[in-house]
């Protein structure tokens, strides 16, 4: 009888211990799921929850709530995503959703970019433009029928001639031409052309003071051609010739006597040409003299004929 009583007491004690362990485990799980902690937070969180993500963020970061099924998970960002704008307060910085028509906004009442099918005008997204404006599919805005910098245009996005002080490029007017373009006399932006040069030629013969003999050290030269001259604002051409010092085995120049012989030969040829030229001029002078004498003889004959004719007429 005493042994049975002891057994019953031990069984009740074990059941009580088991229940207390199960209750403690459930309490810890609940605390981990809903409690706030600053240990192990990621991505800029200051405090976080396993179930809801970031609850507060580190200074200067915005808290943004992302939906995951039926729950919302907080994340900390340096800037708010498209469709949201940031608000700051001493306690926290929040990402607030823009209006339904805005793709991005400055605040709830001022859009910066509109969703497809709407056009921005003075911070509002409009399905159609008013006040004499037309929709621009390129800018997604309501713009003047012809942009202010255009003198004439094809449509709201394409200029055909720019106002004074602007330059035309691909249907747009610029006060200053973009990089790699330059203005021309027609007030257009045209591509900038840079200088292009060819390959270097082979090095020329080693020479010194115009001679190729009588020295050991001289200079040799090589050059390259300009293939494309630059436009006024293009990169200028680099050097098209260069020299370098050269060494050759010294060799004697031809003796001066040979040079005098060559000079005498050239002189004789020149004298021969001069003599022929003098003979030609003499023949021309003789011909002119004969022609002049023939002309004078004909004139005398004609004069005598007229005189005789006049005398015969007076006698009759």
What is the DSSP annotation of 113-144?
EEPTT-EEETTEEESS--TTEEEETTTTEEEE
Domain with CATH 2.20.100 in the chain: 196-247
* Alpha-carbon distance values, 171 to 119, 167, 188, 283 (Å): 21, 10, 10, 78
CA distance 198 to 256: 42
pLDDT tens digit sequence for 128-185: 888 778 888 888 898 888 888 888 888 778 899 999 999 999 999 999 999 999 999 9
Under CATH, which architecture does the 196-247 domain have?
Answer: Single Sheet (2.20)
pLDDT at 38: 63
* pLDDT band per the 50, 70, 90 thresholds, residue 21: very low
CA distance 85 to 278: 105
CATH 2.10.220.10 applies to domain 146-192:
yes
pLDDT tens digit sequence for 185-238: 999 999 999 999 999 999 999 888 888 887 888 899 999 999 999 999 999 999
| Structure token digits, residue 225 | 């051609």
Q: What is the mean pLDDT of residues 243-264?
A: 73
CA distance 213 to 25: 107
* pLDDT band per the 50, 70, 90 thresholds, residue 3: very low
The pTM assigned to this predicted structure is 0.38
Of 170 and 288, more confident: 170
pLDDT at 198: 96
pLDDT tens digit sequence for 42-70: 778 999 988 889 999 999 999 999 888 88
pLDDT tens digit sequence for 213-222: 878 888 999 9
pLDDT at 189: 96
Q: What is the mean pLDDT of the chain?
A: 81
pLDDT at 78: 93
Does the pLDDT of residue 107 top 70, yes or no?
yes
Of 242 and 255, more confident: 242
Percent of residues, the chain, with pLDDT higher than 70: 82
Q: Which helix (H) or strand (E) holds 297?
A: helix 256-315
- Asked if 165 and 187 touch (Cβ cutoff 8 Å), the reply is no
Number of H helices and E strands in the chain, helices first, is 2, 22
Domain with CATH 2.10.220.10 in the chain: 146-192
């Amino acid at each position: 009888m005493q042994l049975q009583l002891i057994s019953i007491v031990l069984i009740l004690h074990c059941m009580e211990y088991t229940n207390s362990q199960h209750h403690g485990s459930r309490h810890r799980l609940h605390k981990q799921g809903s409690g706030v902690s600053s240990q192990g937070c990621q991505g800029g969180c200051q405090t976080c929850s396993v179930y809801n993500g970031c609850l507060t963020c580190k200074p200067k970061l915005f808290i943004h709530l992302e939906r995951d099924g039926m729950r919302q998970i907080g994340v900390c960002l340096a800037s708010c995503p498209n469709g949201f704008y940031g608000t700051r307060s001493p306690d926290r910085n929040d990402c607030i959703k823009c209006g339904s028509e805005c793709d991005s906004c400055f605040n709830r009442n001022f859009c910066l970019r509109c969703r497809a099918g709407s056009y921005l005008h003075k911070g509002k997204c409009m399905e159609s433009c008013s006040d004499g404006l037309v929709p621009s599919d390129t800018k997604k805005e309501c713009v003047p029928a012809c942009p202010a910098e255009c003198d004439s245009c094809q449509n709201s996005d394409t200029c055909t001639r720019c106002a004074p002080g602007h330059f035309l490029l691909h249907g747009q007017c610029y006060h200053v031409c973009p990089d790699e373009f330059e203005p021309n006399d027609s007030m257009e932006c045209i591509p900038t052309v840079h200088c292009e040069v060819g390959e270097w030629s082979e090095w020329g013969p080693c020479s010194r003071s115009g001679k190729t003999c009588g020295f050991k050290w001289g200079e040799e030269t090589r050059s390259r051609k300009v293939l494309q001259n630059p436009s006024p604002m293009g990169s200028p051409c680099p050097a098209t010739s260069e020299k370098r010092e050269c060494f050759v085995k010294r060799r004697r120049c031809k003796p001066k006597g040979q040079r005098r012989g060559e000079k005498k030969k050239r002189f004789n040829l020149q004298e021969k040409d001069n003599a022929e030229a003098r003979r030609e001029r003499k023949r021309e002078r003789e011909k002119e003299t004969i022609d002049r004498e023939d002309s004078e003889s004909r004139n005398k004959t004609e004069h005598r004929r007229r005189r005789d004719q006049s005398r015969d007429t007076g006698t009759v």
